[in-house]
Structure 1
Amino acid sequence: MSARATSGDAFSDPAFRWLWGATILAQTGSSLGSVAIPLIAINELGMNEATVALLATSSAVVLLVAAFPAGYIAEFRRKRPLMIGAALVRATMFTVIAMLLLTGSLHVAWMFVALGLNAAMQILFSSASSAHTKSLLDPEHRADALGKLQAANWTSLILGPVVAGLIAGVSSPAVLLLGNAAAFILSAALVRGIPRPEGPAPARGKSSRRGREAIAGAHFLLREPMLRRLFLSWLIFAGAVAALTPITQVFYIQDLQFTEVQYGLLMGLPSLGGLIGAWVTGRIARRWRLGPTVWWSSILRTPWYLLYPLAQPGISGFVMLLLAFTGVLFFSSITNSAMGALRMELTPDHLMSRSSAAWGIATMGAGPALIPILGFVMQATNARTALWAIFALVTVSLLVLPVRRLNSAQATEL
């Protein structure tokens, strides 16, 4: 065992504390940008609904298109310079947009360029960070580290929009953009300051076909028996969860007649469940081990989806859904972090960035694949029936998991 950390807590490793700080600052920057960009697009540039939707769609398309090359670029290079470069490019981009806004020179075209570049740098940072996290930490600390990193994401999601709204309310979107840029600059500085030298990058394979090398991570996910089952289960689950949001929006507002305050509470308060679940993942994984943690947390997240279609109008339905969403996010956070650590253990170092990129692409594509199907179910029947369909899909994702291998002696030792 390495002497880098002396307890099961990843925070006992000083290098991880710097990485965690860099990550939460980068995610805070993203949260600030998610508020600033729509405000500028609508209030400053007067974009209509169609153009705003196209702006969001173009960013998602860039994420999908850039993921494979980003994984390939990150795989055979040192990860920290890539992370620093990606953060500084995003900082520069948001600073330029702020200056253009202040001088009255901002055009719609700049917004498309900025968001496209931001999406490309986001996926590059993520691909490099995933592989770097594996190399930075001992195996026994990875589940806790991934949980703490996911908790950082939950924190930025919960507090980021609130802080961004306050800044925009008392100043201007330009100031918000400059704060966004500052967060990325500080993130880059923390990555630069990680108090441990980075190891060498994996050697490039002998194949001269770059296209084949770029998709080698996806091939590995589909070829390795245990990862293939985990991958399929995740795709089904991710697609069902993505479809849940538009269906519950209709269900809460039209069917259950919840007020705006109730709707806001349902969308916001359960995030605390995700934050807590992510934070305690390391402790749970140390007790249960990785394989059983993935299996049992997947079981425990499933029954909560049964409460959605059973909810009725009124305070009882509101409380039921509040508990359901909190339970879903709590156990899903544990599953996600433990599964991420298990993927790290099963994936060779020279495929880590590319397999992470492939996993991310599949996750982003699962929603658009299932949302239209479940939307059709809702349109043909009603939102409650669509919620029953989501519960069925989540149950299928549980049944697809390789239960025997997850609970085998080998997986228990992971």
Structure 2
Amino acid sequence: MGRSLGRQFRWFWAAYAVSTFGTWLAFDAFALIAILALDAGPAEVSMLAAAGIRAIGGREPHPARTATPPRPRADDLLEGWRYILAGPALRPLFFNTVLVNGLIMAASPLLAVLMLGDLGFAPWQYGLAFGVPCIGGLIGSRLARPLLARYGQHKVMLTAGTLRACWPLGLAFIHPGPTGLILVIAIELGLITCMGVFNPIFATYRLQQLPSDRVARTLSAWSITSKATIAAMTGVWGLLAGLTSPRTAIAIAGLLLLATSLLLPRHDRTPQHKNADQAPPERQTLA
């Protein structure tokens, strides 16, 4: 499970790098309507391909329907939240990841306003500033396993989780010109590298804390809370930027991020197994 999570995160960062830089490069070169058409193209090709596959099938009988898992109900989500808040290992990690993700994403649109508006960066430069650092996600995902084997799960998660909160404050000090662009790339590279190390180890650690009958409910509650927090904090930081300035709002987010490291688990609460090979697959580490 840990290895597959590491591969998933590596593919995520690779896709994000290509899509980020490609979109802003195209935006700089073509009209907006062309970008929308390019974005819609793959969906139309997929629809045509699906229609072709159905035509090839002819009069073949439809496959038997299998039972689909029910959607999470309100009671399931409440049970997931209760389990998270009652767990001494999950509770601090829950608040840490939700707040870190919310603060980072809340500052993202303000950074776009600052760079593309006040500082006068071109769209392709903005794409470069956020596309190139995604290489750090690939590097971090690769480093996670050897670091885990050498220093242990808890120490690596605590260190990488703390370091990832230190970088965004530097975005409040960006300035026009090539040096400002290099500063953004360096900060984002450090941030994403730390996230590349932290994310697969965190995901494995979280699954280790969950009995198999609570995984779906707990992860659903976790995901919903994270997305709702990102939406709410993005709106709040937009209002804050309107009352002050985008740079000030970014600086406040960076200062609050420094405090989130206090919410990381200070003690190793990983369940101990007499034989790691006998542990359930979802509870095995990246090693």
Normalized against structure 2, the TM-score is what? 0.74
- Give the one of 220, 226, 232 matched to 2:83: 220
Question: For 1:335-365, what per-residue CA distance to the aligned partner results, in whole angstroms no more than 9, with x for missing partners?
Answer: 1211111001111111112211111111111
* 2:153 corresponds to 1:294: no
1:218-248 alpha-carbon deviations (Å, 9 max, x no partner)? 2211111110110011111111011121110
2:263 counterpart of 1:400: yes
Q: Please tell me whether residue 177 in structure 1 is matched to residue 43 in structure 2.
A: yes
2:92 is the alignment partner of 1:229:
yes
C-alpha contact 1:147 1:334 (8 A) present in aligned 2: no
Counterpart Cα distance in 1 of 2:45 and 2:142: 27
Amino acid at match of 2:95: L
2:267 alignment partner, SS class: helix
Name stretches of at least 5 consecutive residues in structure 1 with no aligned partner.
1-136, 184-209
Verify: 1:354 aligned to 2:213, yes or no.
no
Structure with more contact order per residue of length (Cα contacts < 8 Å, sep ≥ 6): 2
Whether 2:240 is the aligned partner of 1:381: answer no
Q: Match for residue 143 of structure 2? A: 280
CA contact (8 A) 2:163 2:194 kept: yes
Letter in 2 for 1:306: L
1:147 aligns with 2:13: no
State the match for 2:200 in structure 1.
337
Identity of aligned residues (%): 25
Structure 1 residue 172: Cα displacement: 7.7
2: CA distance between counterparts of 1:173 and 1:305? 30
For the Cα contact (< 8 Å) 2:168–2:254, is it kept in 1? yes
Q: CA 1:254–1:176 in 2, change beyond 3 Å: closer, same or farther?
A: closer
Deviations 1:61-103 (A, max 9, x none): xxxxxxxxxxxxxxxxxxxxxxxxxxxxxxxxxxxxxxxxxxx
Question: CA–CA distance in 1 between the matches of 2:258 and 2:40?
Answer: 46
The question of whether the paired residues in 2 share the 8 Å contact of 1:145 and 1:282 is answered with no
Structure 2 unmatched runs, 5+: 27-33, 51-72, 277-284
Q: Are residues 1:246 and 2:109 paired? A: yes
| Contact kept in structure 2, 1:252 and 1:258, CA below 8 Å | yes
Considering only aligned residues, what root-mean-square deviation do their CA atoms show, in Å? 3.3
Structure 1 counterpart SS, 2:106:
helix
Contact 1:154 1:271 in 2 (8 A): yes
**TM-score scaled to structure 1, two decimals?**
0.53
Quote the Cα distance in structure 1 between the aligned partners of 2:188 and 2:167: 7
CA distance in 2, matches of 1:363, 1:290: 23
State the Cα deviation string for residues 8-49 of structure 1 (Å, max 9, x = none).
Answer: xxxxxxxxxxxxxxxxxxxxxxxxxxxxxxxxxxxxxxxxxx
- Count residues in correspondence: 245
- Alpha carbons of structure 1 residues 259 and 212: separation in structure 2 relative to 1, 3 Å: closer
